[in-house]
Structure 1
Amino acid sequence: MYKQLKYTFVYSLGVILLPLILVLVGCGNNALDVDVSEIDVELRFRRFEKALFQSDLNNMELEVSRLNSDYGLFFDLFTRRIVSIGGADNPNLAVSLKGFITDPQISEVYEATQLLYPELIQLENSIADAFKYYRYYFPNKYIPEVVTFVSGFNYAIVTTDSTLGIGLESYLGKDSKYYRMLGYPRYKVRNMNSSAIVPDCMRMIASSDYELKDSQKDLLSQMIHEGRILYFTEAMQPNIEDSLVIGFTAAQIQWCWENERNMWTFYLDKDILYSTEHTENIKYIGEGPFTSGFSNESPARTGQWVGWQVVRSYMSSNEVSVKELMEEENLQSILTKSNYKPRK
């Protein structure tokens, strides 16, 4: 019987390394640096893009059967949703798939991913390490199979009940000619590199497993929710820099620390923490070159960053596990119990 998958797609955020001085300023990392040395994780890591692009073009019907047998539900998700050429019920699937992998531009992008990622041992180790922390905090959660793919810049990360998919072409580095050709803004391109892959994966696992309810559309709830997604991400990689967790530059992190109290005062003075207006709230939690209403030196998504600091304060002030944090339904109570005091 076909199993309905829960899937989530996201474009990558990326990273710029943060100076050590700012790492020391950040709070929460030491408490999360738990011992996972005795935790075993059997991670299955497969390169779907190689299996796909090395297909025998003269026998595509057989190749479709092979790929469907080897990759099952992910193959169906890839053809049906990721590249939108139909599923196994499409009588022209073999023809459409051949057209996809022989497209000159797609083929060139595939070759670019293979040059940059001829092997993925370091990535495999980093993801395996992150899943050790995942198992520590969530011992009953399933560890998904990791599958890399190339989709023509459609999606960077795909999560399902059983699979974590990584679109390698979304991590070619900020100088990739393809990003210029596609007209991606600089604030997005700077974040499309290999260092972003694992944080992006962990963010999306959290976002997929713990979705914001329709009733939680006020700005404060969204800030707290995004903040705990970021806290989850650093819990899975407790020794990485804040900039890697949230995808800010070092200068943007510095700006946030220097303006933390100003930002919080702004939210209070404007009386917008309980706003449910999407057009208003997106100014503070959405992507962009900077936060509307703040200076051009500010990063976008400052509301997420503030929410992260509230969650950090909450976790340091209460005996709460990461699992309990993620399962807390009363998001506003997190602020109440956080003893949050923004820095001057």
Structure 2
Amino acid sequence: MKNIGALAVILAIIFFQSCGQKEDSCSLNSEILDQDLDVEILRLEKEFFEAKNAEDFEFLLEKYPEFTKNYLQADLYQSMDSLVADLVQIHQDSSMRVLNDSVQVEFADFSEVEEELENALKAIKYYFPQFEIPKVYTFVSGFNSDLVVTEDLIVIGLDYFLPASHSFQPDLPRYMADRYEKEYIVPMIVTAISSRFNQTDPKDNTLLAEMIYYGKAYHFTKAILPCTSDQFIIGYTPEQISESFANEEFIWAHFVENELLYETNPFEIRKYMGEAPFTDAISTVAPGRLGRWLGWNIVDDYVFNQEVSLPMLMANPDAEQIFRQSGYRPRPPA
């Protein structure tokens, strides 16, 4: 790869400079909000922790078959009795009960998340009429599962979203754990849902294809949640977003000079797309997943310049076409 050393030195110096980021436009379409659609979030952890014996758990497993199958993964057990036995043991564990008590205090009022999620699902239904509203549950998994999103249900593992100051924390690197706050719940759900509309070319295994895939996912989430800060969509701090825009020309130069867009080596692709505290191929002060962020900018330019609707964007599997027709150029520092 060319000129990495010189570029890294430059970026290490100027990534500490600040710059204004792109403006967020916030408007909730009344036509979307006026749809006759109600979303109720069922707090399943309450029912499960109130269960006293095996018969109570058997009743709950039968009452919520989608949850039993998709979240508790009943098919992995030799019998329903073995699943029930595990649940009894887990929910009688003193640490689990303390964890649940903490969740009940922290999320006693869940109405704000419920309203945000309802509006988001309304927006998805508006743009994609074939979308069926899933059932929505919360649960306390003992940090076994943060979020499950299928066509039939959404399950939010609330223990993952306790504040960073709480004594109970998931076993995750700090740079990832910082994204498990209440404000991230709905954006994470919407981004997960975007995958069912995000058409791709399975034969295209280039870095560009992956950049465009994530760019479409983040654009989808922003379109559905126009009043949500980019911070909660991509998981960068406001400072990281500002600094990335301040250095967009240098980031793009790195991709171009090292001929990365058509790279197919998974190891090389991971350097720019995978979870990491920083993108060290560029700079140790550059945030991780910079390829995803860059892909988002390219997709935004494509939608703006080509006046493409959200359904048209998501249905387009041609990453090369999106890139070429985006007219993408990095913004010069302000």
Q: TM-score range by the shorter chain?
A: 0.7 to 0.9
CA distance in 1, matches of 2:326, 2:25: 17
- The equivalent of 1:189 in structure 2 is 177
Tell whether 2:66 aligns with 1:70. Answer: no
CA distance in 1, matches of 2:198, 2:302: 18
CA distance in 2, matches of 1:296, 1:272: 19
Tell whether 2:123 aligns with 1:133. Answer: yes
Equivalenced residue count is: 313
Kept after mapping to 2: 8 A contact 1:255/1:297: no
Aligned equivalent of 1:41, options 8, 15, 37: 37
1:29 Cα offset (Å): 3.5
The percentage of counterpart residues that share the same residue type is 29
Aligned equivalent of 2:108, options 118, 121, 125: 118
Aligned equivalent of 2:205, options 212, 217, 220: 217
Tell whether 2:96 aligns with 1:103. Answer: no
1:38 Cα offset (Å): 2.5
- Indicate how the Cα distance of structure 1 residues 154 and 217 shifts in structure 2: closer, same or farther if over 3 A, else same: farther
CA distance in 1, matches of 2:326, 2:197: 23
1:94 Cα offset (Å): 2.1
Kept after mapping to 2: 8 A contact 1:159/1:208: no
Kept after mapping to 2: 8 A contact 1:252/1:297: no
- The equivalent of 2:150 in structure 1 is 160
Q: Structure 1: give runs of 5+ residues left out of the alignment.
A: 1-20
- The equivalent of 1:12 in structure 2 is none
Kept after mapping to 2: 8 A contact 1:85/1:93: no
CA distance in 2, matches of 1:110, 1:207: 31
Return the TM-score normalized by structure 1.
0.85
- The equivalent of 1:335 in structure 2 is 323
CA distance in 2, matches of 1:327, 1:286: 24
Return the TM-score normalized by structure 2.
0.88
- The equivalent of 1:50 in structure 2 is 46
Tell whether 2:259 aligns with 1:268. Answer: no
Counterpart amino acid of residue 203 in structure 1: T
CA distance in 2, matches of 1:343, 1:242: 17
* RMSD, matched Cα: 2.0
Residues 137-156 of structure 1: pairs in structure 2 closer than 5 A? 137-156=127-146
1:209 Cα offset (Å): 4.5
1:27 Cα offset (Å): 5.3
- The equivalent of 1:284 in structure 2 is 272
- The equivalent of 2:3 in structure 1 is none
| Secondary structure of the structure 1 residue equivalent to 2:192 | helix
CA distance in 1, matches of 2:200, 2:168: 34
CA distance in 1, matches of 2:204, 2:141: 33
- Measured against aligned partners, the alpha-carbon deviations of 1:156-179 in whole angstroms (never above 9, x if no partner) come to 110122111111011101222222
| Secondary structure of the structure 2 residue equivalent to 1:29 | coil
- The equivalent of 1:306 in structure 2 is 294
